Amino acid sequence: MIEETTESASLNSQELEAMYAISRVVAQSTELDTSLNEIINFARPVFIFDNVVMYLLEGSESLEPSYARAIGRGRSSEADLAWGEKTAHEIFRTEQIVVRKEVKGDFSKDRMRLRYFLGLPLMVVGRLMGALVFVRYGGPPFTPDHTQLAEFITTHVAQLLEHQQLVKRLSNLEAERRLERLQDDFVATISHELRTPLGFIKGYATTLLRDDISWDEETRKEFLTIIDEETDRLKELIDNLLDSSRLQSGTLRMEFQPVRLDTMLRDMALRAGSFHENLTIELNMETTGVQVNADPTRMAQVFDNLLSNATKYAPGSKVSITLKAAGETAHMEVSDNGPGIASDHLKNIFNRFYRVPNEKTSVRGTGLGLFICRRIINGHYGDIWAESEEGKGTTFHITLPCEYVDGSLSDNQPM
Ligand code: ADP
């Protein structure tokens, strides 16, 4: 049975107050379910019902329950959302208010067997979005006055939905814009980073190939060294880019094996010391015999990156590497006394492509190094973070799950 209410009645002061309160909820709404709870709480003293369910249109096919409250009789049936479905489908078909009565057997002993349903279409800008279905167990039946109150409530719920849709659309738009901006920034950064070494390579190769000039051996060697170095840089850049997208998509394979951290850190320090001429590394081994399950190549990549960052961003500073362990956790630190990183930037440095803006230096980079470090360390079930104080320096911390193979302590070795 479908009934349309035409009769209108004026609201008494309590009803008016409730409706104002509901309007305020809609105006101040931030979260849909919380606002719906508040609306139901304000409505209930002036409009009696036992259960309410909101169905929303999924695609254009079906109405799915998205919110339910059991208030009066039948509180326990909150989870059973099927009771309003018949009414909801009728609304879906007709887009009109539906008033139904259902009798399930003898209701003289169990009032729950007599059910009065009031269902209202939720319309947003003239389109059916869903339905709100109220039920009363055992009566009284819904009167036109009740229907008018329910219509008022439904209009407000529809406004809530419209508001939520708008917020969702805006945030999608914002996310899309952000992504577009990120992609533009990415293309700009990467093009610049790829073009610089390529420019050097092309320039020096073309110069060397000129027929009209004969280069002496020393100049030839100097040009070839530049080409060699810039080719390494190009390779490193492309490797980083590939690693970063493999890490992002979870397809970077790691080969785990037992690795002693003191030995590994000594090797890293030796390697970095020979690679970066002006780098002084101090090793503080507060514990030895600590072993982790790790991919040695990937771990080397992490420390190479931290040490090369120290030479890039804290030039001339001594760098100390510390190894400690407590319980089942190994803790490593890489510290410098460089210019440090402002707290605003510190929270972002592990993000993909993030670089601290600095007009004073022209240090080259892509903002991929620390992103890759974090992914690798996380892939070892560990953690990496940074502490920094401007003007004082930066410390990178790494923790990894560990075990002990032997346990001698204190073996501090400056290098
Ligand atoms: P890249 O070096 O390619 O810019 P990273 O991801 O390795 O990228 O580093 C991100 C940013 O963190 C760098 O651009 C730099 O501003 C900052 N940073 C990293 N290490 C240090 C450090 N030891 N001292 C000061 N700033 C640092």
Stated pTM of the model: 0.55
Tell me if 399 is assigned to some domain.
yes
The confidence score (pLDDT) of residue 73 equals: 61
Burial classification of residue 268, based on how many CB atoms lie within 10 Å of its CB (0-12 exposed, 13-18 middle, 19 or more buried): buried
302 Cβ closer than 6 Å to some ligand 1 atom: no
Pocket mutation for ligand 1, best pick of 247, 346, 349, 358 (most atoms within 8 Å of C-beta): 349
9 within 8 A of 145, measured Cβ to Cβ: yes
Which of 172, 196, 218 corresponds to the end of one domain?
Answer: 172
Per-residue pLDDT of the chain (415 residues; tens, 9 = 90+): 444 443 445 677 888 888 888 888 877 777 888 888 899 888 888 888 888 999 998 876 778 888 888 876 655 554 455 678 889 999 999 999 999 998 887 777 777 788 899 999 999 888 899 999 999 988 889 999 889 989 999 998 998 888 888 888 888 888 888 777 777 777 777 777 788 889 999 999 999 999 888 889 999 999 999 999 899 888 988 888 888 878 777 778 889 999 999 999 999 999 898 888 889 999 999 998 999 999 999 999 999 999 999 999 999 999 999 999 999 999 999 999 999 999 999 999 999 888 898 777 778 788 889 999 999 999 999 999 999 999 999 999 999 999 998 654 444 343 4
Q: CA 193, CA 84: separation in Å to the nearest integer?
A: 61
> Which of 233, 249, 265 is at the close of a domain?
249
Residue with tokens 């039948």: 74
In CATH, what number is assigned to the domain containing residue 325?
3.30.565.10
40 with 71, same domain: the answer is yes
Q: Which residue has the tokens 């090797």?
A: 267
Interval between CA 309 and ligand 1 midpoint (Å): 6
Q: Which SS3 state, helix, strand or coil, does residue 68 take? A: strand
Give residue 415's pLDDT.
40
Alpha helices in 95-216 (DSSP H): 144-209
How far is residue 393's CA from residue 389's CA, in Å, rounded to a whole number? 6
Check residue 5 and give its pLDDT. 40
Q: Which two tokens stand for residue 264?
A: 């590994």
- Which structure tokens are listed for 330? 């190994």
Q: What is the pLDDT of residue 132?
A: 93
The answer to whether 337 and 316 have CB atoms below 8 angstroms apart is: no
CA of 107 to the centre of ligand 1 (A): 75
User: Residue 334, Cα to own-chain centre: how many angstroms?
Assistant: 28
The CATH number of residue 216's host domain is 1.10.287.130
Domain tally, the chain: 3
Domain membership flag for residue 2: no
Q: Which domain holds residue 242?
A: 174-249
